[in-house]
A and B are shown apart, each in its own frame.
Chain A
Amino acid sequence: MTDVDLSTSLAGITLPNPVMTASGCAGAGKELDAFFDVAEVGAIVSGSVTLDSRAGWPTPRMVETPSGMLNAIGLQGLGIDGFLATELPWLVQRNARAVVSIAGSSLGEYAELARRVGNSPGVTAVEVNISCPNVEDRGLVFGCDPYQASKVVNVVRRDVPRAIPVLAKLTPDVTSIVDVAEAVVNAGADGLVMVNTTLGMAIDPATLRPTLGGTTGGLSGPAIHPVAVRCVWQVHAAMPEVPIVGVGGVRTGFDALELLLAGAVAVQVGTVIFNDPSAPVRVVSELREELAQRNITSVADVIGRAHRPEGELL
């Protein structure tokens, strides 16, 4: 079989392979320890860490939908103190590349989170969640408005050491994702993570009322994979030099390859982990096979390749 170099470069850092876990889908990594070695994947992305501990939304918090699910968790978590005391050290001790997702409800909170995380040893990158649909403001204030989004990224970039890339996670629920992407890149984002869940809703057949305790929820899973491919494609076409992490419904090695071809330098596996807890490492080996059977020897060779003119052969 063709020898494949899976390593990839993301905003100045090198990952052994381009498959990361998606925020909110892998706990703090530790829960998946029984299924694979967290150091074997490109990176583990934490659930979004907030300043204070959060209890989240009441149940029901999820609904299964065709090829996906809706969730309204509401960023339940320990808060930054608990995260830095227990969860981050575990990832570091296990030699995982730890990408810390942060979510604030004000610029001040984002700044403080950035300082705390930026000053902690072992952080590979910071992912700025400006697009969670499940907080009180439904993410509308930051992620949907290029100006607000750029202000958040600006304060975070200012407070995170230069050597640690700051990645902005974007929502697909905007008219022009390119506009938001350009705004956050101009504000200092070193890379983009696309896409977060898209806002959805389900109604309970018994009560005839909204099923989720949070009324609306984020739609994720293979159902939204084509949306992710489209967003990555559009932003890569507009800004080919900006590193993109593609996320949305990655289930197979080819799903991952598709995002790379559209222009992503790495991908994240999310909801599919609920279906298959070892999916991240399975996707790594399937991606290797997808490349090998096409006689492609390096991930770097496929990034953005779908943008090349027809007739240009592999």
Chain B
Amino acid sequence: MALEAATSVGPAATTGAYVSRTTTGPVQVAGEVLTVKRVGAYHHLTLVAPGVADRFRPGNFVALAVGGALSDRLLRRSFSIYRARPTGAYGGTVEVVFAVTGPGTRWLSKLAAGTTVDVVGPLGRPYALPKEPVACTLVGGGCGSAPLFSLAERLRERGCGVHMVLGASTENRLFGALEAKRAATTVVVTTEDGSIGIKGAVTDVLPDLLARSSSDVVYACGPKAMLHAVAETAELHGAWSQTAVEDSMACGTGVCMTCVLPVVGEDGVTRMLRACVDGPVFRGDRVRWDDVGTIPEDTLGAPRRGGPQ
């Protein structure tokens, strides 16, 4: 079973061939808020942002500037793209789902329709798709499920079987459980408090689902601890895993070097890779999950032991 190379549509794609500022790669556009809706514990923001949808592939994200043009909050907030529509009554739209975690997301959650939000996207490497029509399991934690629905659509177009596992701490932190029933053949829901579905974590039900569905690929998006567990479970079942990390990024475009994590390359060498341009989707078996937040000693360029570099 082979996965197609995840051709990057982000700035990383500029390696080698010339990438025009007008046909591929991310666009920067003054987006306009269409709606902000509450969905359980989350907010669902729809922006008119022409140009983003045309280049979108599942797993891509957008980086939004917050607070307006004179904001004292300079860093962009990055969100997986939930849906992107190239055309519609309002022109191209892009949709994201997020939890309010600080002043930036609070600002976004209270936007009135018509407000301008600077949008950069689509960014990052998307999920790699299987070449053959194999069975796939998609695992989402919290609103990490958002990018999985457009992925499910692409997989079904390729004749792939689609199974979904959605997990959260409690019912109102689940996102897309109803939509999942339309998007997937099998849907399993877990909550830590048992308020809906099976009481437990996604990884409690994953081994059984992988076995029953004979999945060849596991796609996941959510907190790192969940991705770690999903990657291990996938490996035990001989499946590929494609994990999308949700890192805080300052720029989203590859220039700030803040969103790094240790990833093992094809050559066996560990490098600190940027989640924004080298990810956010990584092969789950390549990420050194236990070492996230550190510079492992054998990383390329790690400080030498016994003295400063």
**Known: A32-B253, A32-B255. Contact between A278 and B28, CB under 8 A?**
yes
B162 to chain A, nearest CB (A): 32
Question: B32-40, B173-181, B299-307: which one contacts chain A?
Answer: B299-307
Contact B251 A34 (CB under 8 A): no
Q: Which of A33, A53, A278 contacts B11 (CB 8 A)?
A: A33
B175 to chain A, nearest CB (A): 24
Contact A67 B72 (CB under 8 A): yes
Does B226 count as interface, using CB distance less than 8 angstroms? Answer: no
Does A151 count as interface, using CB distance less than 8 angstroms? Answer: no
| Contact bitstring B249-270, A, C-beta under 8 A = 1, else 0 | 0110111111111000000000
Q: Which of A26, A31, A34, A275 contacts B75 (CB 8 A)?
A: A275
- In the assembly, what is the distance between CA of A274 and CA of B253, in Å? 8
| Contact bitstring A136-172, B, C-beta under 8 A = 1, else 0 | 1100000000000000000000000000000000000
Contact B308 A55 (CB under 8 A): no
- In the assembly, what is the distance between CA of A279 and CA of B253, in Å? 13
Task: Kindly count the residue-residue contacts between A and B in the assembled complex, taking CB atoms under 8 Å apart.
Answer: 138
- In the assembly, what is the distance between CA of A273 and CA of B256, in Å? 9
Residue of A nearest to B103 (CB): A64
- In the assembly, what is the distance between CA of A30 and CA of B10, in Å? 11
Contact B258 A59 (CB under 8 A): yes
Contact A31 B258 (CB under 8 A): no
Contact B294 A58 (CB under 8 A): yes
Within 8 A of A (CB), among B286-308: 292-295, 299-303, 308
Does B76 count as interface, using CB distance less than 8 angstroms? Answer: yes
Contact A76 B272 (CB under 8 A): yes
Contact B256 A55 (CB under 8 A): no
- When distances are taken between beta carbons in the complex, the residues of chain B under 8 Å from A275 are 65, 71, 74-76
Contact B74 A56 (CB under 8 A): no
Residue of A nearest to B18 (CB): A33
Contact A272 B74 (CB under 8 A): yes
B145 to chain A, nearest CB (A): 25
A253 to chain B, nearest CB (A): 13
| Contact bitstring A51-77, B, C-beta under 8 A = 1, else 0 | 011111111111010111101010011
**Known: A52-B309, A62-B258, A274-B256. Contact between A32 and B76, CB under 8 A?**
no
Q: Which of A33, A60, A76, A213 contacts B21 (CB 8 A)?
A: A33
Contact A71 B74 (CB under 8 A): no
Within 8 A of A (CB), among B266-283: 271-272, 277
The residue in A30, A47, A62, A275 that gathers the most chain B C-beta atoms within 10 A of its C-beta is: A275
**Known: A274-B76, A275-B65, A275-B75. Contact between A56 and B11, CB under 8 A?**
no
Residue of B nearest to A29 (CB): B255
Residues of chain B at the chain A interface (Cβ within 8 Å):
11, 14-15, 19, 21, 25-28, 65, 71-76, 118, 120, 248, 250-251, 253-261, 271-272, 277, 292-295, 299-303, 308-309
